[in-house]
Amino acid sequence: MRNIVRSTVFWGLALACGTRQALASPAAQSAAAPATTLASQPADKTQPSYDMKAQAAYDLEDLQKKFVDLAGAIPQEKYTWRPAEGVRSIGEVFLHVAGAGYNIPNMMGVPLPQGFDRKTFEKSTTDKAKIIEALNKSFASAIAVVQGMTNGDFAKPDKKLGPDANDGDVIYILVTHAHEHLGQSIAYARANGIVPPWTAAAQKQNAQAPQE
């Protein structure tokens, strides 16, 4: 996918989710690149050599497990912790990710859940159990969207996002957006002395391995 396609989708994501990081990304900044630079990039019309649907679903399932495991490892009293004034708290980051699981697919026409308010969702609760439930429901919904697509659907044009955009671009953003905020959440956890559960498990396994 060309930079201009990703740029268009990033702008759409920023409007749908309020993601500040997306606007600051290189992909978004490419929107300001000279037209001659973008025009000089030939369109790649070759078919993908891997199953995009299966890979996207696998990534989302792995992300769900890591987010839920990390959210479970963070104590309730830390959910309102934030690294500085004016930025998202731990709980707000988790809810931002959960909201994106609905907002981003909505960019390609998937209806929002009944009663979901994108303007208030991130600050709707600080309760750990409810936030974990929201993460599970959102990822389940996003995975179902991907599993309901065919590989051919990934190439379906999405003209409202841009002349060269397609539904595959939306799924691309869905996955990369979650990865971005997983890294952020890990940093938040580490700042509070919490080791991600999968890292703790690997460290324990390595410590128990017989020494040669």
What pLDDT score was predicted for residue 205? 87
Prediction pTM value: 0.77
> How far does CA 11 lie from the centroid of its chain?
15
166-212: per-residue pLDDT in tens?
999 999 999 999 999 999 999 999 999 999 999 999 998 888 878 66
Give the amino acid at 11.
W
**Token digits for 121?**
């969702």
139-163: per-residue pLDDT in tens?
999 999 999 999 999 999 988 788 8
Length, in residues, of the chain: 212
Percent of the chain with pLDDT over 90: 67
16-51: per-residue pLDDT in tens?
444 444 334 334 444 444 444 545 667 766 665 668
Asked if 17 and 104 touch (Cβ cutoff 8 Å), the reply is: yes
DSSP 31: G
**In this structure, how many other beta carbons lie within 10 angstroms of the beta carbon of residue 49?**
5
Average pLDDT over residues 102-129: 97
Average pLDDT over residues 110-135: 97
> Helix, strand, coil % (nearest 5) of the chain?
65, 0, 30
Asked if 98 and 135 touch (Cβ cutoff 8 Å), the reply is: yes
The CATH architecture of the domain made up of 51-195 is Up-down Bundle (1.20)
